[in-house]
Structure 1
Amino acid sequence: MKNFNRHAHYFFTLPALLLYAIFFIYPLINGFLYSLTDWDGLSKTHKYIGFDNYSELLSDGRIRNSLGFTFRYALLLIVLTVVLGVVIALLLNRVKKFQSFFRTTYFFPAVLSLITVGLIWNQLFSQALPAFGKAIGSEMLSKNLLSDPSWAFYGVLFVSLWQGLAIPILLFLAALQSVPQDLLEAASLDGANAWQRFRSVVVPFLIPTLNMVVILSAKNGITAFDIIVAMTGGGPGRTTESVGLLVYNFAFKEFKFSYASALAMILFVIIGLVSIIQIRSSSRYEVNA
């Protein structure tokens, strides 16, 4: 009985470890093995071709264009999510009346699925906005912005921010509650202005939350799929074809399953490197409680 109690924590963690191994580790290893073959996703047999898929990825112009779109999209999504999330959280933290109303309003988009959000905004861009543009005599707004290669990127980015800001705002709001008021008062007495108090006192307490938000935003940006499928389908002219969508297109539309697996492995490595760099670069600014 004593031995059981001593090792009981292993039994409690075993179900989670099994689920993690079945639904993450096994698919990851299996995907890597498939990336070393020429399997099309349908045939019963396949041939081992080594790293030929990876070498072909490096010379594929479609992948370069997709990576360019994805990195630009992810970078802007990260920056705007952090900046707007902190600003809105600071404003909501100062609101004394109707706190529940404002917080519920900002959180509402988070309860909607990405496909639902994309379909709703697709109709707004294709039907409501052109009608509004014609009513006010605006030539730019009189057309579907998602059909314009120059504006489709910003349309998708705007909708991603609208839906994705909710949880970061709540996380930053919770982090703001952990900032000791006596430190802020002491800094104020020492003559620090609002910006100096925010930079020197508030920001260090936001670093753990900032790490989480940056990593989640990077993951959402790099693996963008649902909203793009619902709004543009990767168009016009593949100008909004993200890497995540490209993996899907290669695997299930063009039946290049092993090629898609190789691209997915590259995507996995990129997300891991971004996460490691972000955590290591910002950990030195974190406040140790």
Structure 2
Amino acid sequence: MKSGTRAGKKRLSGRVTFFLFTIIPVALYTFFYVVSVVNGVRYSFTNWDGVSKTYDFVGWKNYVNLMKNPYFWNSVKTTVIYSVLLVIGVIGLSLLLALSLNSLKRFKTLIKSIYFVPAMIGGITISLIWDQIYYRVVPVIGKALGIGWLSNSPLMSTETALPAVVIVQIWQAVALPTVIFIAGLQQIPDEQYESAKIDGATAFQRFRYITMPYLLPTVTVNLVLTIKQGFTSFDFPFAMTGGGPVRSTEVIGILIYNDAFKNMRFSVANAESCILFVIVAFFSLTQLKLTSKGGVRE
């Protein structure tokens, strides 16, 4: 009887300790995230300018006006294109890097450390460095090779500015997905490849029927993370182009920033943020649903 009482007290003590350790994280999460999100949604139904202590509720007016705003739809289009290019570049390049690094026998740790360096540098710092490369180095190379469209900075053209910014973010963002892919590759049983080789399967067949099914869960993780990065991108296009030239790189993040801090329309900016949240949630849930149908279940 006493041992049962002691065990009960020990379990109760463990629960109390666990509860005490979670109080601070839960409180911080609630204050800085939940309360902020709720207030953001509430302010999106007002005409608050971000400064005044008083404001009026205007209902769905901000959302209706956004549906009629061509600049908003231009930013949505730009953001979608930006995200698609980012996903293609990051997923494709990180998968190739993971396959290459996973097959290395020597200097694997050194090479991993080298390619992971960009991930440890801030986005603004990288943007400023590449901005100078585009303005000072690329035109010199273009003129030396006689390539007309490279004779000027690609950031100055409405046709090349967006891809130029995406390339920089791909260079910085490819490290983490590569690590995730390598972790997925290391979970694939070697027996699968050995059996396939004995059966005469080609390298492409082994990749298609063994590697990819096992990698689908990691592909899902990387896709969701990259889609989120694309739709919430701000630092790279803001630091390199500021949304120009002629709004060709004005993603939703820049539009929200301009409406909030330049035009002092915080209520409109909150409405744009809410729409952005719905878009990211939609694409993430769709991707999770599609990829959950495939893969290898053990």
Q: TM-score, normalised by structure 1?
A: 0.96
Asked if 1:266 is matched to 2:275, the reply is yes
Structure 2 distance, partners of 1:80, 1:285, is 23
Structure 1 distance, partners of 2:233, 2:73, is 16
Asked if 1:33 is matched to 2:32, the reply is no
- CA deviation after TM superposition for structure 1 residue 6, in Å: 4.3
Deviations 1:117-161 (A, max 9, x none): 110001110111112223333322211110000110110111111
Give 3-state SS (helix, strand or coil) of 2:287's partner: helix
Aligned counterpart, 2:107: 98
Aligned counterpart, 1:127: 136
Aligned counterpart, 1:220: 229
Give 3-state SS (helix, strand or coil) of 2:160's partner: helix
Q: What letter corresponds to residue 233 of structure 1 in structure 2?
A: G
Q: What letter corresponds to residue 221 of structure 2 in structure 1?
A: M
- CA deviation after TM superposition for structure 1 residue 8, in Å: 4.3
Give 3-state SS (helix, strand or coil) of 1:149's partner: coil
Map 1:1-289 onto structure 2 (within 5 A). Answer: 1=9, 2-6=11-15, 8-289=17-298
Give 3-state SS (helix, strand or coil) of 1:62's partner: helix
Deviations 1:36-62 (A, max 9, x none): 100111112111101110111111100
Structure 2 distance, partners of 1:104, 1:6, is 41
Give 3-state SS (helix, strand or coil) of 1:150's partner: coil
Point out the more displaced range, 248-257 or 75-84.
75-84
Point out the more displaced range, 72-81 or 53-62.
72-81
Deviations 1:51-96 (A, max 9, x none): 1101111111001111001001101211221111111110111121
Structure 1 distance, partners of 2:24, 2:265, is 35
Cα-Cα RMSD: 1.4
Runs of 4+ in 1 over 4 A off after TM superposition: none
Q: TM-score, normalised by structure 2?
A: 0.93
Q: What letter corresponds to residue 71 of structure 1 in structure 2?
A: V
Give 3-state SS (helix, strand or coil) of 1:273's partner: helix
Identity among equivalent pairs (%): 39
- CA deviation after TM superposition for structure 1 residue 7, in Å: 5.2
Structure 2 distance, partners of 1:33, 1:177, is 47
Structure whose alpha-carbon radius of gyration is higher:
2
Q: What letter corresponds to residue 280 of structure 1 in structure 2?
A: K
Structure 1 distance, partners of 2:23, 2:279, is 29
- CA deviation after TM superposition for structure 1 residue 12, in Å: 3.2
Structure 1 distance, partners of 2:139, 2:14, is 67
Structure 2 distance, partners of 1:244, 1:120, is 21
Q: What letter corresponds to residue 224 of structure 1 in structure 2?
A: S
Q: What letter corresponds to residue 196 of structure 1 in structure 2?
A: Q
- CA deviation after TM superposition for structure 1 residue 19, in Å: 2.0
Structure 2 distance, partners of 1:138, 1:120, is 23
Provide structure 1 residue ranges, at least 5 long, that are not aligned to the other structure. none
Provide structure 2 residue ranges, at least 5 long, that are not aligned to the other structure. 1-8
Structure 1 distance, partners of 2:189, 2:242, is 47
Q: What letter corresponds to residue 9 of structure 1 in structure 2?
A: F
Structure 1 distance, partners of 2:24, 2:292, is 31
